[in-house]
Every structure is written in C-alpha cells, then in structure tokens.
C-alpha cells in the first residue's frame, strides 16, 4: 500500500540546537508541545452521514437502551454524528439473528455460485460508491482522501471479488485408508462468527473479516471500532442492496468493555476474530476460552524492523523506510518502526531521512497534496507526544519534528530520531504514530539478534541488493511477513499475520478460509471394491 507515494512539499525546519532541545523539554511540562504552523480551515465533506444505527437482522435499528455516542472529526475534534451505542442486549439480538440466519436461513444452503454472485454485486456497488466511501473514511479516520480513494477502496473491492471467487472452490478431499473404506472430508461453515475490527483501517478490516467468513457460508456479528464506525455501516448497507439475506451480517457499534466483551463471551458464537492491540487480544482470548472455548484468530501489535544493509541504494532505502513508518500517520500495526541501518551508510541515511521528513506534507487530509493527516483522537495524540518526550529524555537525537502541528486537531509533525538504543521505550513499544527511530548495526548476526529480540513478530522489511543476504534475513527473522526491497504490499491473496505476541492465525488469502471452516471426516465401508 505504501508503494503509492503522494506529492510532498517543504515543511518549516525547526532549530536543531541544544537550546531548542531544552526548550522542547520545558514545553513538556505544559499542556502540549509548542504550537507550529496552523492548519488551514478544514474542507467540509459533501457526503451526508445517514447510517448511524445498529444493523440487526437486515434492519437499521436504535440501540435497545436508546444510547448514542459521538464519532469525531480528528481534524477539528468536532462531532460528525451520534451513533447508536450497542451493549450486551443488542449483541444478544444480533447473535440470535445470526444464529437463525445460519440454522434456518438460505445463506449456507444457497448454491455456492449464488453466494458468489451476491458478493460480486457487492463489489460492483463498492466500486460505484467509491467516492462516498472514501469521503466517509477520511472524515471519520483522518487518513488522506487520496489514500482512501486511490488505494484502500480499490483494495476493498479487489478483496471482495477475490473471496467471491473462492465460494465454489471450498471442496474437501478423498482420503486413502488402510482397508475397504471410502473416506472423504467435508469443509463446512463454522456457524456464527463474531468479529471485532480496529479504527486504523475500518473499511479494509471490514473486508478482511467478512470476506472469508461469508465466502464459507457463515453468519456474522461484527463490532466496529467506536472511534470509526461510519464506513462499515455504509458498506454493510450496500451488501444488503446486493442481495444478502437478513441476519447474515449484523453490525453493532459500541465499546469494547460492553459490546466487545458480550460478543466474545457469548456462548452461541462459534468463532471470534479480533484485530487490535496485544493487551486487548489477551482479554479476547480469555473471554472466548471461559465461555464456550470458541476458536479465536488474533491480528495484534507489532514493532517491525526495517533493515537497511550496507549495499543498499540509500536514496531508495530512505524513501521506502519513510513510507514503511509514516504511512497512515504511523497508525499501522506492521509499520517499520525500528529502522536498522548498517554503520557504513548510517550517517548518510540519517541525513537523508531527516530531509525526507522535512518534505512530508501535513494538513487537511481532503487536500490532494497532503501525505499525513491527524492522529485518530486526543488519547493517541498525547500518547505519541509522551513517547517523543521519552526519546529526548533517554538521549536519542531528535533530528526533526517533535512538536504538534498546528493549534487545532490532532496533528503531529513527522518525527525522526537517530542514535536510538534497543532498550529505549521508543525502540521497544508500539508507538502507533509518525515517529521514526533509526538504530545502527554492524553485521547480519548483530541485526538478526536485535531484530528478533522483541515479543512481537508481525512483519519486517529488508533492503539489500544481495540475494544471499536477503535469503539469510528472510529465514532468520521471526515474523509473519518479510518484504524484500518493498513494504506494505497487501494483495488479497497474500496471507497476513504474526508470530509470537503479534497474533494467532492469518488474514487474507487461502489461509484465512480455514479460520471459518470445520473439517469433517466421513468414513463408509466398501463391499467388494474394485480397487482401493
């Protein structure tokens, strides 16, 4: 995804003297960093927000309690809309609708070709409403409109078509046995799938979850992220316009502590899929185990290494490492957030990385030249600023940025640290923001040991012109994805997921289908078989 670069323009470079650094440290004692250039008056989107209720059994309905919560424009902090707040009773209604749709409804009993046609019609509608989907996504999330329109909505369409193509290919096997028996395996839908998606890629995560689940013939109860509920609700409306039967997909907006907990604990849910933080993933796994021991897939956090070897083309490596970290405001679980650079090219890389950050365009994400919009909310905004403060206090060299950008909204300057040590919090913790940490390494053994010395294992990038070096690192790194001389490639067929505490199972591709299928062995005796 990050291979699609946006136009950049020069940002004002702050002083880099020790006095300026001291001033920044003093600023941390106040409310926020010192102000920078103001962001222009935000563009008003043309889209009308109409879908703010819960979607249960094919109908948009209010929450049982009547409660709503605001979803906020991160550019301004102003409310976009008030959305129905689903709680345990609403989850119960949604699960009941899904169970009825699975047990008694037409979806799992349709010809696979018919299910495929509905998903293909859905993809066509997504394509037709591309502009509106991108506007909603940008307004609710803060990501650049160009990113949403040019990259993410087309990826959404492609992924739905990919899974539409799998619907009539989920066949089992004929298995040889010792003796006169006919043995076959059946692949059957698992039942009611509970799904919880994050706020950083609402539309894409919606597709990553429902695509394989629906292709396999399951029913779904999906909880949106409370920070970004709008685009999934609109996409779900389009799916029903495409002909999805009532109850097959139910969407409940709400909070993790109420709706999320109820979904994970529900004994009539047959499977849980969650994308989010590692700490929350532990809770999801515990709740699922304590209820009915339902299987769980988890796509969790990361602190991914991006390794620049001594033979690298430094200019290309700087751009790739920049995109690997700063894409989506740094709010990406697989962000290349530990940039390891060989000591022979380290100084040149740092200088050019600083220059690239200076050129990064921050501002209203609805403007076509903008590369970086606001962070998602004030909590995330303040968290990132605290990590920047810790980097300065722990002795890393602040090469660029470090301040908030503007005086309104949740914008942060692209920030680059050099002289980062492995034990610093900015090198060990998932910051989830536009903070690049550059570390020096001396040889492959050194970088392999350090890159793997983390409880995460989601992804890694390797930049080298040497095939042997690439092969060595590919096999040595304990991660679920390794990108060689590229980063953030998310084709629909490429599996994605993590080692260690970055998750369980895989999203996308053929591997994700097995998360939503049960395998049944059927054994029949053969009388006087002609052959075995």
Q: Note whether 260 and 87 are within 8 A (CB).
A: no
The three-class DSSP label of residue 264 is helix
Report the C-alpha gap between 303 and 288 in whole angstroms: 26
**Which 8-state DSSP code applies to residue 433?**
S
Q: Which of 87, 226, 299, 430 is the catalytic position?
A: 299
Q: What letters, b where the CB count within 10 A reaches 16 and e where it falls short, cover 185-202?
A: eebbbbbbbbbbbbbbbb
- Measure the CA–CA gap between 48 and 15, rounded to whole angstroms: 43
Largest CA distance in the chain: 92
Can 333 be counted among the known catalytic residues?
A: yes
Tokens standing for residue 398: 């602040």
Burial 270-288 (b: 16+ CB within 10 A, else e): bbbbbbbebebbebbbebb
The CA radius of gyration of the chain, in Å to the nearest whole number, is 24
Q: In angstroms, rounded to a whole number, what is the distance separating the alpha carbons of residues 110 and 190?
A: 16
Active site residue 13: no
Strand pairing class (68-73; 174-175) = unpaired
8-state DSSP, 241: H
Q: Which residues lie closer than 8 Å to 258 by C-beta, 6 or more apart?
A: 86, 87, 88
What residue ranges in 254-343 does DSSP mark as E strands?
271-275, 296-299, 305-308, 338-342
Contacts of 242 (CB under 8 A, 6+ apart): 118, 119, 121, 122, 124, 125
For 500, list phi and psi in degrees, rounded to 5.
Answer: 50, -130
Is the distance from CB of 67 to CB of 89 less than 8 angstroms?
A: no
Q: How far apart are CA 115 and CA 167, in angstroms?
A: 7
Q: Which residues of 519-532 are buried (b: 16+ CB within 10 A; e: fewer)?
A: eeeeeeeeeeeeee
CA 165-167-173 angle, 5° bins: 115
Q: Exposure string (b/e) for 214-238, b if CB count within 10 Å is 16 or more? A: bbbbbbbbbbbbbbbbbbbbbbbbb
Q: Which helix (H) or strand (E) holds 189?
A: strand 181-189
Question: Closest Cα partner for 288 from 262, 253, 256, 322?
Answer: 262
Tally of CB atoms within 10 A around 347: 12
Could you say which of 216, 309, 333, 334 is catalytic?
Answer: 333
Q: Which residues are catalytic?
A: 299, 333
């Amino acid at each position: 995804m990050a291979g699609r670069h946006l136009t950049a323009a020069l940002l004002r470079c702050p002083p880099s003297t020790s006095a300026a650094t001291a001033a920044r440290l003093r600023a941390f004692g106040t409310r926020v960093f010192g102000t920078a250039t103001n962001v222009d008056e935000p563009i008003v989107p043309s889209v009308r927000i109409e879908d703010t209720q819960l979607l249960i059994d094919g109908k948009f309905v209010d929450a049982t309690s009547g409660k709503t919560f605001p979803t906020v424009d991160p550019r301004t902090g102003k409310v976009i809309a008030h959305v129905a707040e689903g709680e345990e009773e609403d989850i119960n209604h949604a699960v009941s609708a899904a169970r009825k749709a699975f047990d008694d409804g037409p979806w799992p009993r349709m010809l696979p070709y018919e299910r495929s046609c509905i998903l293909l019609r859905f993809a066509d509608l997504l394509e037709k409403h591309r502009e509106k989907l991108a506007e909603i996504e940008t307004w609710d999330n803060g990501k650049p409109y160009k990113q949403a329109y040019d990259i993410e909505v087309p990826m959404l369409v492609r992924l739905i078509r990919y899974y539409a193509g799998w619907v009539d290919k989920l066949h089992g096997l004929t298995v040889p046995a010792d003796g006169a028996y006919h043995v076959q395996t059946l692949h059957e839908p698992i039942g009611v799938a509970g799904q919880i998606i994050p706020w950083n890629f609402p539309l894409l995560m919606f597709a990553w979850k429902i695509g394989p689940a629906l292709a396999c013939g399951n029913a779904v109860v999906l909880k949106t992220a409370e920070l970004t509920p709008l685009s999934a609700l609109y996409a779900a409306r389009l799916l029903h316009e495409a002909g999805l039967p009532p109850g097959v997909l139910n969407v409940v907006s709400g909070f993790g502590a109420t709706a999320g907990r109820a979904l994970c604990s529900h004994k009539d849910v047959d499977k849980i899929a969650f994308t989010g933080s590692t700490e929350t993933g532990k809770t999801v796994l515990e709740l699922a185990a304590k209820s009915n021991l339902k299987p769980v897939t988890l796509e969790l956090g990361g602190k991914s290494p991006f390794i620049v070897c001594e033979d690298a083309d430094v200019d290309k490596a700087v751009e790739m490492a920049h995109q690997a970290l700063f894409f989506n405001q740094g709010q990406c679980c697989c962000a290349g957030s530990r940039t390891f650079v060989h000591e022979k090219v380290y100084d040149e890389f740092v200088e050019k990385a600083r220059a690239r950050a200076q050129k990064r365009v921050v501002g209203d994400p609805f403007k076509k030249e903008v590369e970086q919009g606001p962070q998602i909310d004030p909590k995330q905004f303040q968290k990132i600023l605290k990590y920047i403060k810790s980097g300065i206090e722990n002795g890393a060299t602040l090469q660029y940025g470090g301040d908030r950008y503007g005086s309104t909204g949740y914008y942060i300057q692209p920030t680059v640290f050099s002289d980062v040590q492995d034990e610093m919090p900015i090198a060990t913790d998932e910051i989830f923001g536009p903070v690049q940490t550059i570390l020096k390494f001396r040889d492959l053994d050194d970088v392999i040991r350090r890159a793997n010395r983390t409880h995460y294992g989601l992804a890694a990038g390797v930049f080298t012109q040497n095939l042997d070096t690439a092969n060595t690192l590919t096999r040595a790194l304990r991660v679920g994805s390794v990108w060689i001389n590229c980063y953030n490639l998310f084709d629909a067929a490429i599996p994605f997921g993590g080692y260690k505490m970055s998750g369980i199972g895989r999203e996308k591709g053929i591997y994700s289908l097995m998360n939503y299928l049960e395998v049944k062995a059927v054994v029949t005796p053969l009388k006087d078989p002609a052959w075995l």
